[in-house]
């Protein structure tokens, strides 16, 4: 069994986020325009370095009988991403990241990355004493595939374009996460989780987190907690 402390990297209590329940699933568009999102509150991510770009980033989360919905929204000035395929090293360009650790008894969690060009990286990560490497999903289609959409604000979905920001809306089916324990969640369930953003404008690396972690995004013991209503 893996133990976890009660404080984040900066000594503050780990954050918790209430996740409202949806009675019916909906189609995602990338802009978070569906009325279902009104039930969830925005939660801000924190800049990890005061010298980084002063952009804003925030997240909302919902859940239904079939899956988890995540909406991320950020300000930006330039689309610093060029990769045109899924499953690449997306974290080396502009990206949103979602980490889900449903059961604390096992050091295994789900990592998901999405770029402003709507390219994705979904992997399961076993992390034993800091030794980790992701495994790609098998039969990744049908009910086991994510649904995703990206919306570029104030510009084109084009590498190097001047923009005002971007949003990503993702649906994670429980059929994809089922190898993990404590899935699907029910009212009162608690999942450890974290949300990140990376940005590379002007050759400068900037990053954000929800639960404060140290040098590595994979410090899962410091993740926050999703509380399912």
Residue 108: pLDDT band (50, 70, 90) is very high
Higher pLDDT, 4 or 96: 96
What's domain 16-228's architecture?
A: Sandwich (2.60)
Q: What is the pLDDT of residue 218?
A: 94
Mention every residue, 6+ apart, whose C-beta is less than 8 A from residue 212. Answer: 8, 9, 10, 12, 46, 222
SS (H, E, C) the chain: CCCCCCECCCCCECCEEEECECCCCCCCCCCCCCHHHHHCCCEECEECCCCCCCCCEEEEEEECCCEEEEEEEEECCECCCCCCCCCCCHHHCCEEEEEEECCCCCCEEEEEEECCCCCEEEEEEEEECCEECCECCCCCCHHHCCEEEEEEECCCCCCCCECCEEEEEEEEEHHHHCCCCCCCCCCCCEEEEEEEEEECHHHCCEEEECCCCCCCCCCHHHCEEEEEC
Q: What is the pLDDT of residue 29?
A: 97
Q: What is the pLDDT of residue 11?
A: 60
- Strands 46-47, 206-209: pairing is antiparallel
Q: Quick one: average pLDDT of 199-226?
A: 96
Q: What percent of the chain has pLDDT over 90?
A: 87
Q: Quick one: average pLDDT of 126-135?
A: 84
pTM for this model (two decimals):
0.93
Q: Tell me the pLDDT of the chain averaged across its residues.
A: 93
- pLDDT value at 45 more than 70: yes
Residue 50: pLDDT band (50, 70, 90) is confident
Residue in this structure with the two tokens 């409202």, named with its chain if needed? 20
Residue in this structure with the two tokens 């005002």, named with its chain if needed? 164
Residue 128: pLDDT band (50, 70, 90) is confident
Domain boundaries, the chain: 16-228
C-alpha 182/C-alpha 115 separation (Å) is: 28
Which of 6-20, 76-90, 150-164 has the lowest average pLDDT? 6-20
Residue 200: pLDDT band (50, 70, 90) is very high
Residue 100: pLDDT band (50, 70, 90) is very high
Q: What is the pLDDT of residue 27?
A: 97
Residue 52: pLDDT band (50, 70, 90) is confident
5-17 pLDDT tens trace: 455 555 667 999 9
How far apart are the two ends of the chain, measured CA to CA in Å? 26
- pLDDT value at 223 more than 80: yes
C-alpha 212/C-alpha 7 separation (Å) is: 9
């Amino acid at each position: 069994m893996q133990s976890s402390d009660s404080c984040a990297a900066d000594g503050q209590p780990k954050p918790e986020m209430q996740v409202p329940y949806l009675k019916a699933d909906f189609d995602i568009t990338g802009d978070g325009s569906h009325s279902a999102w009104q039930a969830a509150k925005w939660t801000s991510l924190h800049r990890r370095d005061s010298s980084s770009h002063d952009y804003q980033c925030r997240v909302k989360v919902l859940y239904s009988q079939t899956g988890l919905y995540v909406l991320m929204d950020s300000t930006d000035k330039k689309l610093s991403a060029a990769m045109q395929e899924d499953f690449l090293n997306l974290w080396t360009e502009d990206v949103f990241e979602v980490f889900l650790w449903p059961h604390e008894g096992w050091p295994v969690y789900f990592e998901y990355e999405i770029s402003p060009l709507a390219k994705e990286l979904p992997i399961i990560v076993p992390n034993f004493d800091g030794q980790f490497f992701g495994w790609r999903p098998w039969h990744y289609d049908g009910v086991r595939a994510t649904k995703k959409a990206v919306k570029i604000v104030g510009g084109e979905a084009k590498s190097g374009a001047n923009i005002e920001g971007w949003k990503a809306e993702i649906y994670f089916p429980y059929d994809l996460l089922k190898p993990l324990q404590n899935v699907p969640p029910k009212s009162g369930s608690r999942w450890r989780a974290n949300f990140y953003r990376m940005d590379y404008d002007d050759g400068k690396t900037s990053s954000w987190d929800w639960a404060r972690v140290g040098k590595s995004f994979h410090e899962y013991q410091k993740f926050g907690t999703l509380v399912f209503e």
